[in-house]
């Protein structure tokens, strides 16, 4: 593949984007080792050779009220990112999800005559559908990872590249539950996993609910998956002899745990791909929730249910996220529970719907060809 372009700028603003961005960079470098890559992301992208200019942990503002409170910092980020792109003069900018920021930067890239490639579509099928007009105006190529997204874009006469889900590339590694227990000083007692989200507001809110429910299961160890962007201080007050914390071992936890409570987001899909029965739990700040309820257009909040277009995993949202509900739904999916086998069977159908491994390589190959042809 003839590639005259050598410089790529990548923008990712979240932990999941860091993971997928790292795998994308790795796949690109396998094809063209000499690419010069700078951008915004995290440790994983940096490990693959990207010069890290801004870490995503400085960017995580969520909810309507939280964004308003941090508007000055957000505007400063736009200004700094534009200056970095201008100084670097890349041949392409790759945007990974994170639409509130990235669509504005895509407009800037387009106005600067820089090739604009978008990896992992914003969830415009759920809310802010009018973003499709910005995508059509500012994005040269869109790479989607969910099977139903291409059909959505077709409604707007917009072609996309469905590459499959990059999580399938990550889950092929082997995990040993006994090694996980030994490494983290856990006993042989069964484990309930807790994934309380990645932002400070979520962690505080979700852990309070989930740990209260966990008191009903004294024979289980409770293991919290710490967010990559946080340190132990975010969790310290919740830890005890029964409640443990692990970092950078979420997939190992999925394999070791009997079941888990999972906050909505990418983690719901990761848990399903790793075959961990789960109850999806989410509670937002009241104002943010009331606004979102009026704007969000989808029936479900978990990716598992959205992809399958039916309720495969139970969702306990806002007022339904009570201690009693968390307890009763967990009992149904533990080894003795009546819904466990049915849920695991649905996970098999989900894996089939997601396609095959190789999303990162497929996206990387197409992007590099597009760059080569754009000169």
Shared-domain flag, residues 138 and 191? no
Looking at the domain assignment, is residue 1 inside a domain? no
Q: Which residues of 138-173 are buried (b: 16+ CB within 10 A; e: fewer)?
A: bbbbbbbbbeebbebbeeeeeebbbbbbbbbbbbee
With beta carbons less than 8 A apart as the criterion, state whether 36 and 7 touch.
yes
SS3 11: strand
Instruction: Output the domain CATH number for residue 293.
Output: 3.40.50.2000
Confidence of residue 199 (pLDDT cuts 50, 70, 90): confident
Distances (CA, A) of 155 to 25, 148, 306: 31, 12, 18
How many domains, in total, are found in the chain?
Answer: 2
Tell which wins on pLDDT, 215 or 3: 215
Same domain, 192 and 330: yes
Q: Binning pLDDT at 50, 70 and 90, where does residue 355 land?
A: confident
Please answer whether residues 326 and 279 qualify as being in contact, where contact means their C-beta atoms are separated by less than 8 angstroms: yes
pLDDT single digits (tens) 290-318: 555 555 556 788 889 988 989 999 999 98
In terms of domains, do 46 and 132 share one?
yes
Top-confidence residue, 66 or 354: 354
Q: List the alpha helices (DSSP H) in the chain.
A: 15-31, 43-47, 64-69, 71-88, 99-111, 131-138, 149-154, 167-170, 177-183, 200-214, 250-256, 266-273, 286-295, 303-308, 323-333, 340-353, 359-374
The string over 306-332, giving b where at least 16 C-beta atoms fall within 10 Å of a residue's C-beta and e elsewhere, is bbbeeebbbbbbeeebebebbbebbeb
Q: Residue 2 domain-assigned?
A: no
The number of beta carbons lying within 10 Å of the beta carbon of residue 349 is: 11
Same domain, 162 and 262: no
Does 18 fall in a domain? yes
Residues near 183 by beta carbon (within 8 Å), at least 6 away in sequence: 249
**Closest listed residue to residue 84, CA positions, set 109, 115, 107, 104:** 109
221 close to 192: Cβ distance less than 8 angstroms: yes
Answer whether residue 82 shows pLDDT above 90. yes
Residues 26, 72: contact at Cβ < 8 Å? no
Whether 206 and 197 have beta carbons less than 8 Å apart is answered as yes
The predicted structure's pLDDT at residue 287:
58
- Cα–Cα nearest to 283, from 319, 315, 247, 240: 319
162 and 202 together in one domain: no
Q: Which is it for the CA torsion 293, 299, 302, 306, positive or negative?
A: negative
Q: At what angle do helices 200-214 and 323-333 cross, to 10 degrees?
A: 70
Residue % of the chain over a pLDDT of 90: 66
Residue 116 Cα to chain centre, angstroms: 21
Residue 161 and residue 189 in one domain: no
> Do residues 186 and 221 touch, judged by C-beta distance below 8 A?
yes
Q: Identify the band that residue 252 occupies on the pLDDT scale cut at 50, 70 and 90.
A: very high
| CA–CA distances in Å: residue 337 to residues 56, 178, 263, 333 | 39, 23, 21, 5
Q: For residue 16, give its domain range.
A: 7-169+357-374
Q: How far, rounded to the nearest angstrom, does the alpha carbon of residue 291 sit from its chain's CA centroid?
A: 22
Whether residues 16 and 86 share a domain: the answer is: yes
Based on the fold, state whether residues 43 and 142 are members of the same structural domain: yes
Predicted TM-score (pTM) of this structure? 0.78
Is residue 126 over pLDDT 90?
no
Q: Dump pLDDT digits (tens) for 208-233.
A: 999 999 999 999 999 999 988 788 99
- Tokens 């009220």 locate to 65
């Amino acid at each position: 593949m003839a590639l005259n372009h050598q410089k790529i700028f990548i923008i990712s603003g979240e932990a999941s984007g860091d993971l997928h961005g790292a795998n994308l960079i790795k796949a690109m470098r396998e094809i063209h080792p000499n690419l010069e890559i700078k951008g915004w992301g995290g440790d994983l992208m940096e490990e693959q050779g990207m010069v890290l200019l801004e870490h995503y942990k400085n960017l995580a503002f969520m909810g309507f009220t939280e964004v308003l409170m941090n508007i000055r910092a957000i505007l400063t980020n736009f200004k700094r990112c534009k200056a970095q792109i201008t100084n670097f003069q890349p041949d392409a900018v790759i945007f990974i999800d994170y639409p509130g920021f990235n669509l504005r930067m895509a407009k800037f890239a387009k106005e600067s005559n820089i090739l604009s490639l978008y990896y992992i579509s914003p969830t415009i099928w759920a809310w802010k559908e009018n973003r499709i007009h910005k995508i059509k105006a500012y994005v040269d190529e869109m790479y989607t990872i969910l099977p139903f997204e291409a059909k959505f874009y077709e409604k707007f006469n917009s072609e996309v590249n469905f590459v499959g889900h990059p999580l399938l590339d990550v889950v092929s590694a082997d995990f040993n539950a006994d090694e996980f227990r030994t490494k983290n000083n856990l006993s042989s007692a069964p484990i309930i996993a807790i994934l309380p989200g990645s932002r400070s507001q979520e962690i505080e809110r979700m852990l309070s609910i989930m740990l209260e429910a966990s008191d009903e299961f004294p024979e289980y160890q409770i293991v919290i998956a710490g967010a990559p962007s946080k340190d132990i201080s975010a969790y310290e007050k919740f830890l005890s002899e029964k409640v443990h914390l692990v970092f950078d071992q979420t997939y190992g936890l999925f394999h070791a745990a009997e079941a888990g409570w999972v906050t909505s987001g990418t983690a719901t899909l990761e848990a399903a791909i790793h075959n961990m029965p789960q109850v999806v739990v989410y509670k937002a700040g009241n104002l943010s929730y009331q606004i979102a309820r009026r704007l969000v257009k989808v029936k479900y909040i978990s990716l598992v249910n959205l992809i399958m277009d039916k309720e495969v995993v139970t969702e306990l949202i806002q007022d339904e996220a009570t201690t009693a509900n968390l307890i009763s739904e967990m009992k149904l999916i533990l080894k003795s529970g009546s819904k466990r086998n049915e849920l695991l069977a649905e996970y098999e159908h989900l894996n089939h719907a997601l396609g095959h491994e190789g999303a990162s390589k497929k996206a990387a190959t197409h992007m590099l060809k597009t760059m080569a042809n754009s000169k």
